[in-house]
Amino acid sequence: CRRSAPYPSFANFDAPDRPACLVSRSRTNTPLQALTLWNDQAYVEMAWALARRIATEPKEMSDRERIIWAWRTVMGRTPKDAEADYLLGMFNGQRERFASDAAAAKKLVDKQQVPNGVEQETFAAWFYVANILLNLDEAITKS
């Protein structure tokens, strides 16, 4: 029966079986969890959705302001200058890479609908930012 089989992502993150309830769960950090966060289709779709919001929702913002907005959306706090600087540098590097290699940007974006007014290489770079944010320990663990 499908209902009795645990969802693979739940198993990787030490979730209890569906009929069970736990007061507290163990807190682990394993390579399998990292692989799940980077490759499981559900998490990839979440990163694309966040990339779309970063690229389109905050109107008339600089790239740095978009990063700060995204960080606050995911983490619930304003990033430190070093955190924002790192993400901005990574975003600019990815955007330059995709601008010089349009085929790589096209391959990454693939079936995603690029938002109106957003260049493909920019959207691909925002995906990298979104993926990083959603994979930070602070984003995936409570307290």
**Total Cβ atoms within 10 A of residue 92:** 12
The pLDDT of residue 18: 62
Tens-digit pLDDT profile for the chain (143 aa)? 456 666 666 666 666 666 666 666 666 666 777 777 777 888 899 999 999 999 998 889 999 999 999 999 999 999 999 999 999 999 999 999 999 999 999 999 998 999 999 999 999 999 999 999 998 888 877 65
Residue 98 sits at the vertex; the CA angle it makes with 93 and 104, to the nearest 5 degrees, is 135
The pLDDT of residue 118: 95
Question: Side-chain half-sphere of 93: how many Cα atoms within 13 Å?
Answer: 8
Question: pTM for the complete prediction?
Answer: 0.82
